Structure 1
Amino acid sequence: MTAMAHDQHTQEDFLLEGFLALDTPEGFRAELIDGEIVVTPPPLGGHEDIIGLIVEQIFQKTKTRVNFAGTKGLIVPSGGACPKNRVIPDGTFALAELRLFRDAGTWMPAEGVLLVLEVTSRRAGIDREAKRHCYARADIPFYLLADRDERALTLFSEPQGDDYRDSSRVPFGKALPLPDPFGFELETFEFP
């Protein structure tokens, strides 16, 4: 092993150890995204309202039973210096038959995750770009982004490499078709 590779490995280990040792204040969320530690303050009410409206519709209208975990830590591949990212989606869905969340620890692998949900917060660019790439690299079939600044809902699908090959976008107030296994139109007219 070369000295440079050894130094890089040590830096990555140090970053991960430091991240995992963080003691963030209650309600704050700490994530490790492409070598950057991102700490997010508790969300405002409109953020949580959108999550609730989406989760409610998915449980009521989806053709297949799904399980949901709010703010579940996922370990996903990195595109940066750190080999693994630690991200926390606003919502994570998996097929109920997998019981994916039953024995999961604080951080779990993303294998088996069907859809991740993000509602933009104060640092919307992270949700629009960095996290999208993380989820695509993890081969998560669907990424649903509710962009409050742009007042639009986007479904990214068909992950390939560092991004998704397809996306469907509607402004708030319109319905967004969710393909199988969901198989319904997600209504956005109540989004704040």
Structure 2
Amino acid sequence: MGIAIAERAVEPEVTAEVSWELLLRAWQELDIPGGWRAEIRGEDIVVVPPPSNAHGLVASKVHWTLKKIAPEGVEAIQNVGVRIPALSKLYIPDLVFIAESDVSLDQPGLASANLLLVVEITSRGDAEDDRGDKRMAYAKGEVPLYLLIDAWDRSGPTVTLFSEPRNGDYDGAQRVPFGKPIAIPEPFGAELETADFPVHPGVPKHT
């Protein structure tokens, strides 16, 4: 099992012999600095530094906007583990929505299949993971809706809602630039405004 800092994984000391249960146990026993996050990615535990202020601001805006319109009994939780055992992965997305009745208090992290919506906000160093590996992992884990807020999109900041998971990816995708609303289907049934999402200096804006 290897531990990597800021997306740079090291070679694991043990490969095939490392079980999912052992990785989970090691993850639970990690003592990492406040604000940092540790994720299980295959046979590695990757430690990621705290996000930027702009990143946190977007997470807060999405949290409170969608929480207001979520059905009673649906909770918004930031920075909680999401288990995808079929892929030996445990991610810590920026935000998830889940029925409170589906939150287990005696298991590490949340079961991906119980989630209603996962939100990831890209950082400069992990944008490709959010766009690719995590998208496919959430689809494999039967997460019905994956909201990707990509402030580092090369064509300009965008928001994409992936839906209809099937065969390890999403069949549906709705994409808008920052500044345009995006429709979030049931159980939310409303539009998410993106006009006040901050744009990082140097990132091209849509015209």
Q: Which amino acid aligns with 1:76?
A: I
Aligned to 2:50: 42
- Secondary structure of the residue that 2:132 maps to in structure 1? helix
Whole-angstrom distance in 2 between the partners of 1:124 and 1:149: 7
Number of residue equivalences: 179
Aligned to 2:9: none
Tell me the C-alpha RMSD between the 2 structures. 2.2
Aligned to 2:3: none
Whole-angstrom distance in 2 between the partners of 1:67 and 1:14: 27
TM-score (norm: length of structure 2):
0.78
1:159 aligns with 2:161: no
Aligned to 2:18: 11
Equivalent residue for 2:89, pick from 79, 85, 89: 85
Q: Sequence identity, in percent? A: 36
How far is the alpha carbon of 1:22 from its aligned partner? 3.1
Whole-angstrom distance in 1 between the partners of 2:106 and 2:146: 21
How far is the alpha carbon of 1:78 from its aligned partner? 4.4
Whole-angstrom distance in 1 between the partners of 2:78 and 2:68: 17
Aligned to 2:105: 103
Aligned to 2:117: 115
How far is the alpha carbon of 1:9 from its aligned partner? 4.7
Contact 1:73 1:86 in 2 (8 A): yes
Q: Which amino acid aligns with 1:135?
A: Y
1:55 aligns with 2:63: yes
TM-score (norm: length of structure 1):
0.83
Give ranges in structure 2 of 5+ residues lacking alignment.
Answer: 1-13, 199-207
How far is the alpha carbon of 1:51 from its aligned partner? 0.8
With a CA cutoff of 8 Å and minimum separation of 6, indicate the structure with the bigger relative contact order: 1
How far is the alpha carbon of 1:164 from its aligned partner? 0.6
Structure 1 residues 104 and 141, CA gap change in structure 2 (3 angstroms): farther
1:146 aligns with 2:149: yes
Q: Which sits farther off after the overlay, 17-26 or 45-54?
A: 17-26
